[in-house]
Amino acid sequence: MVELRNEGPARVELLDAAGRVLESHDFHFLSQARGAVRFNQAGVLPSGIYWVRVAQGVRSASKRVALLE
């Protein structure tokens, strides 16, 4: 889980092991943010290890995730 503590634009990305961006979602927050982002809604990604990166301004955080179908 990642909480955004600042107002303003943020981007959430799903990356493969090679660092390629597979999906991205842009948001503009007016206050502290908490919520859920759903990836692979079309069901096209195979099971595997991916990375989720959240960036807001000059700050970013990444987390490894497993997708199991």
Using one digit for the tens of pLDDT, what is the confidence trace for 5-60? 666 788 999 999 999 999 999 887 666 656 678 888 888 999 999 999 998 888 88
Residue 66 is assigned to a structural domain of this protein? no
Per DSSP, helices labelled H in 1-69 are none
Confidence of residue 2 (pLDDT cuts 50, 70, 90): low
Whole-number Å distance between alpha carbons of 31 and 44: 33
Q: Are 45 and 67 in contact (CB under 8 A)?
A: yes
Based on its alpha-carbon atoms, the radius of gyration of the chain, rounded to whole angstroms, reads 12
Domain of residue 20, residue span: 1-33
Question: What's the confidence (pLDDT) of residue 36?
Answer: 75
Please report whether residue 62 resides in a domain. no
Give the total number of structural domains in the chain. 1
pLDDT for residue 37: 81
Kindly indicate the confidence band of residue 66, based on its pLDDT and cuts at 50, 70 and 90.
Answer: very high
Tokens of 35: 């919520």
Domain assignment of residue 65, yes or no: no
CB 50 within 8 A of CB 16: yes
